[in-house]
Amino acid sequence: MNIIAITACPTGVAHTYLAEANLKKNAKKMGVDILVETQGAVESEYILTSDDIKKADTVLIAADKVIDLSRFSGKKIIRVPVTRAAKDAQGLLNDILSGKIKSELLELKNSRSHSESESTDQSRSWLSQIYVHLITGVNLMIPFVVAGGILIALSFSFGITAATPGDPHFSPLAKMFSDIGGGAAFALMLPILSLGISKSISGNMGIVSGAVGGMLAIHTGSGFLGALLAGFLAGYVTFAIVKYVNLPKALAGLKPILIVPLLSVLITGALMIFVVGEPIKVLLQALTTFLENLGNTNAAIMGLLIGMMVAFDMGGPLNKTVCMFAIGLMSSGIYEPIAACMAAGMVPPLGIALATLLFRQKFTHQERETGKVTWVLGLSFITEGAIPYAVADPLRVIPAIVAGSGLAGALSMALGCGSRAPHGGIFVMFIPNVITHVVAYACAIAAGAILTALILRFVKKDCQELPQEG
């Protein structure tokens, strides 16, 4: 069978390329011809040509974000989550070859080149569609959050109030960092999130209503939760207008430049102001009050849950959802959950790297060599560094990393550690005033990594491969 594939994950980093590598490796073992195009953060090494598409028997879409399928019209399409290709490429290819996974003929019925065909959309569950729209918005928002958050963190290195004119510690440089990071990049977080969700649902027509809905989330005080709802409202309102509002041919040209933006912005805005804004604002205020008043025990329990969820799928949907929730709380001035997320996300690769160093007999030579890189991934808050080990031995590795991350998250929350940067791993710990209780935070991360390594020591079997050095 001749297979062509596209791999893509929401952030376009680890899962995209792990899926590509595993598909190629297992296809070679099985004697299957496969060509893989990645749609990630880095330009794909190979772009599928029209000749490749023509010759292909099956098109495999291993993706957790919207993919343009317009060039595959008339081909048999199989869709799976990118995590399946990353973790079980052999089983996936076996199911395709045996016909266990049913393909469907893709026939593009309209010009919706920005997303999948209607037939493909209808075959997916509504929950799956909601997740894809949500994660598309988050994926668009994250660079703004990371860039803005780290610039804000740099401004705090001059002093917590150094960006305030008239303050004794005022610094023009600190104010510049704060204005760029907080006043511009971070301020765009909610409109960009809402815009991304709306665009995923209704294409380019949804950009205006999505952005306006996100701004109204700020103005109504409904914050992150309001922006989420605004994105879905704007997207589906715009989609309905595009689909059901028909104009005479003489006026059709007004639809994209006047009718759709005007009606979608008006309806979305009215719903945000009169229906959504106030209830979500009250809910957000209640959540903020609850989190601010958490005692040490309750904070530890929350941190434990955050840590376990962050580690469980190592950068997958659950991980992204929890981190997204924590980033949203940052906009409300609550910095402890994002600190717990970052600590928990660093632990899986760090704990495994530590185990490859201390308990070498438990790992193959290749795994020990990979462990040297895994240190860097862990320190950089790239949880996906643990995936190769989890794929090789999931029943032992996943419980170990979940336990370690749970401990790190619990300790981080219980000790009152907060982070004013949403990313950066260990490197932001060296910026003054960014991490609250930085020594306790480092201890929480270390404790989680040590627990993961110790669990692996006792649950993993000794590797039977002949020892190699170097």
pLDDT of residue 115: 43
Q: Which amino acid, 468? A: Q
- Rounded mean pLDDT, 292-321: 81
pLDDT of residue 223: 81
Distance CA 178, CA 183 (A): 7
For residue 463, pLDDT beyond 60: yes
Q: Which residue has the tokens 């879905």?
A: 232
For residue 19, pLDDT beyond 80: yes
Distance CA 359, CA 316 (A): 28
Q: What is the pLDDT of residues 375-421, one digit of tens each?
A: 988 888 888 778 778 877 888 889 999 999 999 999 999 999 999 88
Distance CA 64, CA 417 (A): 32
Residue 466 — pLDDT band, cuts 50, 70, 90?
Answer: very low
Residue 154 — pLDDT band, cuts 50, 70, 90?
Answer: confident
Q: Answer for the pair 451, 402: CB distance below 8 angstroms, yes or no.
A: no
Nearest to 407 by CA among 353, 350, 367, 356: 350
Residue 116 — pLDDT band, cuts 50, 70, 90?
Answer: very low
Annotated active-site residue in 9, 323, 341, 417? 9
Q: Taking the model in full, what pTM does it have? A: 0.70
Q: What is the pLDDT of residues 438-460, one digit of tens each?
A: 999 999 999 999 999 999 999 88
Distance CA 463, CA 371 (A): 15
- Rounded mean pLDDT, 150-175: 85
Q: Which residue has the tokens 């997204």?
A: 324
Highest mean pLDDT among 68-82, 101-115, 197-211, 251-265: 197-211
| 9 belongs to the catalytic site | yes
pLDDT of residue 274: 92
CB atoms within 10 A of CB 282: 12
Distance CA 293, CA 151 (A): 29
Nearest to 416 by CA among 327, 326, 328, 336: 336
φ, ψ for residue 336, nearest 5 deg: -75, -45
Q: What is the pLDDT of residues 338-371, one digit of tens each?
A: 999 999 999 999 999 999 999 988 888 878 888 8
Nearest to 290 by CA among 299, 280, 281: 299
Tokens standing for residue 243: 């689909």
Distance CA 94, CA 84 (A): 13
Residue 125 — pLDDT band, cuts 50, 70, 90?
Answer: low
In order of 351, 408, 456, 460, the CA distances from 355 in angstroms are 6, 17, 7, 10
> In the chain, what are the domain boundaries?
2-123, 126-280, 296-459
Q: What is the pLDDT of residues 275-298, one digit of tens each?
A: 988 888 888 778 777 776 777 778
Spacing of C-alpha 263 from chain mean position: 32
**Candidate from 43-57, 105-119, 151-165, 392-406 with smallest mean pLDDT:** 105-119
Report the CATH superfamily, name and number, of domain 2-123. Answer: Response regulator (3.40.50.2300)
Nearest to 308 by CA among 319, 298, 317, 295: 319
For residue 139, pLDDT beyond 80: no
pLDDT of residue 192: 93
